[in-house]
A and B are shown apart, each in its own frame.
Chain A
Amino acid sequence: MAILVVAEHDHGSLKGATRNTITAALQCGADVHVLVAGANAAGAAQAAAQVAGVAKVLHADGTSLAQQLAENVAAQVLVIAKSYSHVLFPATAFGKNVAPRVAALLDVAQISDATRIVSADTFERPIYAGNAIATVQSTDAIKVITVRTTGFDAAAASGGAAVVEALAAVADSGLSVFVGSEIAKNDRPELTAAKIIVSGGRALGSSEKFDAVLVPLADKLGAALGASRAAVDAGYAPNDWQVGQTGKIVAPSLYIACGISGAIQHLAGMKDSKVIVAINKDAEAPIFSIADYGLEADLFVAVPELVSRL
């Protein structure tokens, strides 16, 4: 049976996490289909058809899918889900919102945050904030999985030539209405896709200092900005910058932790980074135990100096 990937997209294009999910899907089986459920989403459907390894794209288009409401997207997935052995979603805010709805209505369990596909029914996933790795086997006929994108490389955006098949869009559930959104606009790379991340903790002391100290470094490196939970709770940084167990899971080439002590919940979100730099004036900070390069220094002196030397 074929494998279904539910695409995360902005209607015009695919979100990067979709391509990591396609890679995971190809490890479950060879015949991978992608569902693009959107409104005026021909752009995203075309992009999905070009991803290497995709055999077929199913494109459902209608106003009920414009805001990606969980109730409607889940209903759309359920129209076709029973023809598949696996239904995969990226483990992003979008995927986590919709996937369990689909699993429950199929009366199957869900495997959350898969980091490795061991076989078609066996998967690895982190538990206890990544302090243990469970190898789990699904006994259900349909495997509903959310894929931790840092565990899989992105499939190539081009090289595929899948057919695009139109699907009737589901009717609106009438249960929920989209009121509005506040999406921060900036030119920085997306946190979960960034090659370099500059991240700040409570030691920054205020939102003004967070920006004044870390923005120049992020600009110089073309980096995304992240934060610890303490910094977000204190209002120094926006919610969606939080890196950690229950925030964003990241694995950039370089993670620079400035004034972050390194609670286990934070480490859970960034310990798979290739190179970790910690700048902290507390020699005992737990972050030093996993940092490749630790600099014991006052970040208000060290970070500006770092900017000037790059």
Chain B
Amino acid sequence: MKVLVTVKRVVDYNVKVRVRSDGTGVDIANVKMSMNPFDEIAVEEAVRLKEKGLVTEIVAISCGVTQCQETLRTAMAIGADRAILVECADELQPLAVAKLVKALVDREQPGLLIVGKQAIDDDCNQTGQMIAALTGMPQGTFANKVELVDGHAVVTREIDGGMETVRLKLPAIVTADLRLNEPRYVTLPNIMKAKKKTLEVIKPSDLGVDVTPRILTLTVSEPPKRGAGIKVADVATLVDKLKNEAKVI
């Protein structure tokens, strides 16, 4: 079975972004970029399924600027077999990405898609569900565990209050949550091997997809600052402050 995984190039999770003073966005020039952490988990899960002999080929997809090729090389260093970049310098919103991936699903005919549940830049948490909708596939979002059994994906999901398990008819889409697995470290030999793997570059127009943004960003601003409070000397003072100053207990 073939698996598609999607990877997004985002500002590294350790970077605290700065809002541009003109309010047009955040400053990402000269900032460290990495693979979205949830996508790394998605790639790792696909590789583990391949190592178990349940998957024959893993195709990694990214949509975005030329530098996304680096992100795809990382995916191939983790263990993806080949990669496709849908290159586009313009802003791509989740609906547009979902349409691009849908077009690639039509072409590649995978049995399973694994994607990160959320990108840590726009924090949208939409693309996986949108791909599922557009392809008519069932979805297992916020996955904590994935098993392939008798032509089905059995997915345990992290939900409010606990966990839920659903059985999905394949082809299906799974969105990875934090505890699905712990991604491996990429080794130098695997980075070298990844350089030799196939990376195809296409344009949104090759797939016949209109990627015009539907949402306009009017301004981006700093959130209200929360000033530091005070240090208290001991527990007794803390209790006194909470009771008599903050009046919250």
Spell out A's residues near B (CB within 8 Å): 69-71, 74, 92-94, 96-105, 107-113, 122, 126-140, 173-184, 190, 192, 196, 221, 229, 232-233, 238-240, 242, 245-246, 248, 253-254, 264-265, 271, 274-277, 288-297, 302, 305-306, 309-310
With CB as the reference atom, state the residue of chain B lying closest to A102.
B133
Does B202 sit within 8 A of A, measured CB to CB?
Answer: no
User: Known contacts A239-B144, A254-B248, A293-B229; is A174 also within 8 Å of B169 by CB?
Assistant: yes
Q: B interface, by DSSP: helix, strand, loop or mixed?
A: mixed
Report chain B residues within 8 Å CB of A130: 223
A108 to chain B minimum Cβ distance, whole angstroms, is 7
Does B65 sit within 8 A of A, measured CB to CB?
Answer: no
What size tier do the contact residues of chain B reach? 35 or more
Q: Are A229 and B178 in contact (CB under 8 A)?
A: yes
A–B pairs, 9, beta carbons within 8 Å: A97-B139, A133-B222, A178-B165, A182-B162, A240-B160, A240-B162, A242-B178, A245-B120, A292-B229
Q: Are B94 and A110 in contact (CB under 8 A)?
A: yes
Q: Are B141 and A96 in contact (CB under 8 A)?
A: yes
Report chain B residues within 8 Å CB of A184: 161-162
With CB as the reference atom, state the residue of chain B lying closest to A124.
B221
Report chain A residues within 8 Å CB of B216: 136-137, 139
**Of B9-17, B49-57, B191-199, which binds chain A?**
B9-17
Interface centre among A93, A137, A306 (most CB of B within 10 A): A93
Would you give the 0/1 interface string for B159-183, flagging 1 where the beta carbon is closer than 8 Å to chain A? 1111111111100100001110000
Q: Are B221 and A112 in contact (CB under 8 A)?
A: no
Report chain B residues within 8 Å CB of A131: 16-17, 19, 26, 223
**Of B66-74, B77-85, B103-111, B124-132, which binds chain A?**
B124-132
Would you give the 0/1 interface string for B210-224, flagging 1 where the beta carbon is closer than 8 Å to chain A? 000111111111110
With CB as the reference atom, state the residue of chain A lying closest to B221.
A133
Report chain A residues within 8 Å CB of B1: none
Does B242 sit within 8 A of A, measured CB to CB?
Answer: yes
Report chain B residues within 8 Å CB of A104: 95, 98, 129-131, 133-134
User: Known contacts A182-B163, A239-B144, A288-B228; is A109 also within 8 Å of B215 by CB?
Assistant: yes
Q: Measured between alpha carbons, how far is A68 from B227 in the docked complex, in Å? A: 42
Q: Which of B79-126 contact A (CB under 8 A)?
A: 93-95, 98, 117-118, 120-126
Q: Are A126 and B162 in contact (CB under 8 A)?
A: no
B21 to chain A minimum Cβ distance, whole angstroms, is 12
